[in-house]
């Protein structure tokens, strides 16, 4: 059977390999947040679990966005093997500390991709990745806000209950609006 799409490609093999590595990172993000959501739910942090379930789906969407781009540019997006996902955590605060740490790593990875595309003059992919640059800024802002909630409310007494309620409100927070309010 003859291939339906011409074999010509606009992605270099190196860029395709880097984008596939980003797929792995986004897939692991989705799985990591899904595991965190499940842990939260079993510990009674219902609002935090809802936030993390939604966040897991969002990360999967990022992965699929990369899949489409690679394939449409003549490359081949690869489904990553997802393993070594942590399932137990010491506290709700630790979950959100790990999220910020992870999001900072994702940002570094996106920046490396953007830098590669700029150097190789792959401006189409460079342009495509600008969405991810903006998205990572928002992810970091939300992660920082989550940790601020712990600091503002405190974990003693009814604190964790109130923190869980506030964390549930974080999904969909617009980083631009929260930054403007801080000024």
Which positions make up the binding site?
26, 59, 62, 103, 136
Q: Which of 102, 100, 95, 101 is nearest to 45 (CA)?
A: 95
**Token pair of 144 as six digits:** 């920082």
Task: Please report, in range form, the residues annotated as the binding site for Fe cation.
Answer: 26, 59, 62, 103, 136
Q: Return all residues near 109 (Cβ < 8 A) that are at least 6 apart.
A: 21, 22, 25
- Report the distance separating Cα 45 and Cα 53, nearest Å: 12
Phi, psi for 157 (deg, rounded to 5): 55, -125
């Amino acid at each position: 059977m003859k291939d339906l799409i011409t074999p010509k490609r606009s992605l270099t093999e190196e860029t395709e390999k880097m984008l596939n590595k980003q797929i792995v990172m986004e897939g692991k993000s989705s799985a990591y947040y899904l595991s965190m959501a499940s842990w939260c739910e079993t510990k009674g942090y219902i609002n935090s679990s809802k936030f993390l379930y939604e966040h897991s789906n969002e990360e999967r969407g990022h992965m699929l966005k990369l899949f489409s781009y690679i394939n449409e540019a003549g490359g081949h997006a690869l489904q990553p093997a997802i393993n070594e996902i942590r399932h137990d955590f010491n506290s709700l605060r630790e979950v959100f500390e790990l999220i910020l740490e992870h999001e900072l790593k994702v940002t570094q990875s996106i920046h490396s991709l953007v830098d590669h595309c700029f150097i190789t003059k792959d401006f189409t992919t460079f342009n495509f990745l600008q969405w991810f640059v903006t998205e990572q800024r928002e992810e970091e802002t939300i992660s920082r806000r989550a940790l601020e909630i712990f600091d503002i409310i405190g974990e003693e007494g009814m604190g964790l209950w109130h923190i869980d309620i506030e964390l549930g409100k974080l999904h969909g927070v617009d980083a631009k609006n929260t930054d403007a309010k801080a000024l």
